[in-house]
Amino acid sequence: MRRSRRPWAAEAAAAVLLLALGTACGSRLPESDFENRPDRAPTRTGTAPIRVGIIASATSPVGGDAFTGPRDGAQAWFDRLNARGGIDGRPVEVRVCDDGGSGVGNNTCVHRLIEEDRVVALVATTALDYAGASRVSRARVPDIGGQPIGAAYDTWPHLYSVYGSLAPRDGTTGWDGRQYGGTEVYRYFKREHGARTAAVVSYNQAASAAYASLVERGLKAEGYRVVTEQVDFALPNFRAVAADLKEQGADLVFDAIDTHGNARLCEAMDDAGVEVTAKVTNVQNWTSTVPEDYKDAPRCRNALWATGSSRNHQDTGHAAVREFRDATERLGTRSQWQLEGWAAARWFTDAARSCAGTGVTRACVDAYVNRGEGYTAGGLLLPVVFERLAEPPGTRRTCLSVARWADGRGWVSQGDMNSTCFDVPQLSYRP
C-alpha cells in the first residue's frame, strides 16, 4: 500500500510566491565533461571528510529567508552529526552555494559543487530555478531530499525529492509533460469537518491564476461548491473579497497569493467578521512566525491550518522531532521546511553509512536512495518512495499531515499522519 504523497501545495508553492518567475532549461554539456567523476574514483579512507553540497536560493527575488529553511535544517543535522563523530569517524564537510534564485546562478553552483568541490551528493536543494538539474543528473550525483519547487524532480533520474515520485524520470516531465496530484486535502476537510463551500483567492497574474485553477479543479472533483476570488496584483482589494466570502458563506479559504497578501487578506476577513472552518495554507508557511505574520488578524490567525507530508515540527511527543528541536534551538524560529531539510540530511547519512563496505561514493549513495523502499527519516516523513510507472495512476492512497494554529499552543497536530489516509483520484496538470 503506497502512502507517500506528492502534494499539490508543494509542487505549486513557488508559483504562488514567485508570481511569474519561470524555470529555465538545463545546461547542455558533453558527456566528456563528467569523466573521472567521484563515483568512479577510488574510495577515500581514514578520517578524510565526506563532502556534500547544499544549493539554496538564499538571495532570490522573493527575498529574505524564503528558501533557506531546508538549508538551515540540513546544516543543523550535520553539525550535530559531526559533534558526535561523523560517519564512521569521518566528518561531513558541507559546501553551501547561494544561486541567487537565477538559472545562471544555479548552473554556477552546480558546476562549483560537482566539478570543483566534487561533492558526493547534494542535500536539501531548494532552488527557485533549478536550471542545472540536467547537469546534476548526467553527472549521476544523487540529489537527496530536495524541495520540488519546479518540475525537475519528476523529470530527471538521480534527483530525489523529499516527497518521492512515481514518474518515469527519463528526461520528460511526468508522463508526456503532465504531472498528477491528488485531492486528499479537500477530501480531509470535507470528511472530517463537513466543509461544503470553498473559496479560492488569487491574483490576476498567470502563475497565481494557474494554481488557483488547479485548486478549483480538485475541489470540484470532491464535490465542493467553489467560489473564486481574484484581486489585482498591484492594488488588491481584499476588503471586497472578505465581504463576498462572508456573503457566500465559505467554509474553507484556499489561496494562490504570497505571505504578505495572506496577512492582508486575513486582516480584511477579521474586519468583515468572516468566520471560516479553515484558512488553509501550505508547508512553506508552516512556521513559528505566525504571531508576527498575522499579528493584526487574531480570528483568522486561529483559523489557520497547514497540510503536508512531514510530521509537525511542534510534535514534541515524537523522539525524532524532539531531537530536531534541540538541535535547532539556536535558530530562534522553526519551520516545517527546516524539519524537512533535517530529514534530508539524515537520509544522506543513512545512505552513506550503508556504504561502509564499498566506500562512500556517488553510486553507492544513489543505489541506497533509489532502492524502492519507503524512507521515513525515523518517522519524520510519510514513506518516501521512487517508482518509475509506465502509466500515471488513476487513483492513489495518500496520507496527510495536518496541524492547526492556536494562540498559546502554536501548531497543534490533528490526528496521526500515518493513519489520516484517503483513496483519491489523481488529476493531471501541466507544470
User: Cα dist. 215→28, 187, 201, 396, 397 in Å?
Assistant: 35, 12, 10, 18, 19
Q: What is the pLDDT of residue 1?
A: 41
Once rounded to an integer, what is the mean pLDDT over residues 321-328?
98
Q: What is the pLDDT of residue 64?
A: 66
Which grid coordinates belong to 413? 497536530
54 in Cβ contact with 97 (< 8 Å): yes
Report pTM.
0.90
Cα of 119 vs its chain's centroid, Å: 23
Q: Pick from 397, 414, 417: which is nearest to 320 by CA? A: 417
CA–CA distance, 154 with 170 (Å, rounded to integer): 9
Cα-Cα-Cα-Cα torsion 335, 348, 81, 105, nearest 10 degrees, comes to -60
What φ, ψ does residue 362 adopt, rounded to 5°?
-60, -45
Residue 35 has pLDDT above 70, yes or no: no
146 in Cβ contact with 347 (< 8 Å): no
Residue 377 has pLDDT above 90, yes or no: yes
The neighbour count for residue 254, using CB atoms within 10 Å, is 26
Which grid coordinates belong to 237? 482589494
The neighbour count for residue 31, using CB atoms within 10 Å, is 8
Q: Pick from 51, 135, 128, 150: which is nearest to 95 by CA? A: 51
Instruction: Tell me what the pLDDT averaged over the chain comes to.
Output: 90
Once rounded to an integer, what is the mean pLDDT over residues 163-185?
96
Once rounded to an integer, what is the mean pLDDT over residues 16-32?
35
Residue 62 has pLDDT above 90, yes or no: no
186 in Cβ contact with 219 (< 8 Å): yes
Grouping H, G, I as helix, E, B as strand and the rest as coil, residue 304 is strand
For 124-157, how does the pLDDT look when each residue is reduced to its tens digit (9 = 90+)? 999 999 999 999 999 999 999 999 999 999 999 9
Q: Pick from 25, 336, 320: which is nearest to 163 by CA? A: 336
Q: What is the pLDDT of residue 70?
A: 98
Under 8 Å CB-to-CB from 292, ≥6 apart: which residues? none
Residue 23 has pLDDT above 80, yes or no: no
CA–CA distance, 399 with 404 (Å, rounded to integer): 17
Instruction: Specify the amino acid at residue 261.
Output: G
Residue 13 has pLDDT above 60, yes or no: no
For 189-216, how does the pLDDT look when each residue is reduced to its tens digit (9 = 90+)? 999 999 999 999 999 998 899 889 999 9
Q: What is the pLDDT of residue 63?
A: 74
Q: What is the pLDDT of residue 65?
A: 79
107 in Cβ contact with 135 (< 8 Å): yes
User: Cα dist. 401→307, 318, 345, 384 in Å?
Assistant: 6, 14, 21, 14
Residue 232 has pLDDT above 80, yes or no: yes
Q: What is the pLDDT of residue 25?
A: 30
The residue with cell 496541524 is 403
Once rounded to an integer, what is the mean pLDDT over residues 161-168?
97
Residue 32 has pLDDT above 50, yes or no: no
Once rounded to an integer, what is the mean pLDDT over residues 250-268?
94
Grouping H, G, I as helix, E, B as strand and the rest as coil, residue 40 is helix
More confident residue, 207 or 354: 354
18 in Cβ contact with 128 (< 8 Å): yes
Q: What is the pLDDT of residue 120?
A: 98
Split at pLDDT 50, 70, 90, the class of 60 is: confident
Under 8 Å CB-to-CB from 426, ≥6 apart: which residues? 180, 181, 182, 392, 393, 394, 395, 396
Once rounded to an integer, what is the mean pLDDT over residues 277-305?
95
Q: Pick from 366, 378, 427, 376: which is nearest to 399 by CA? A: 376
Question: What is the 8-class DSSP label of residue 175?
Answer: B
Residue 12 has pLDDT above 80, yes or no: no
Once rounded to an integer, what is the mean pLDDT over residues 270-283?
95
Which grid coordinates belong to 117? 568541490
Find the helix or strand (DSSP H, E) in which 207 lies.
helix 206-221
More confident residue, 235 or 16: 235
307 in Cβ contact with 185 (< 8 Å): yes
More confident residue, 384 or 285: 384
CA–CA distance, 70 with 134 (Å, rounded to integer): 21
Q: What is the pLDDT of residue 431?
A: 82
Once rounded to an integer, what is the mean pLDDT over residues 50-67?
90
3-state DSSP helix/strand/coil % of the chain, to nearest 5: 35, 20, 40
Split at pLDDT 50, 70, 90, the class of 46 is: low
DSSP string, 271-294: HHT---SEEEE-GGG-BTTHHHHT
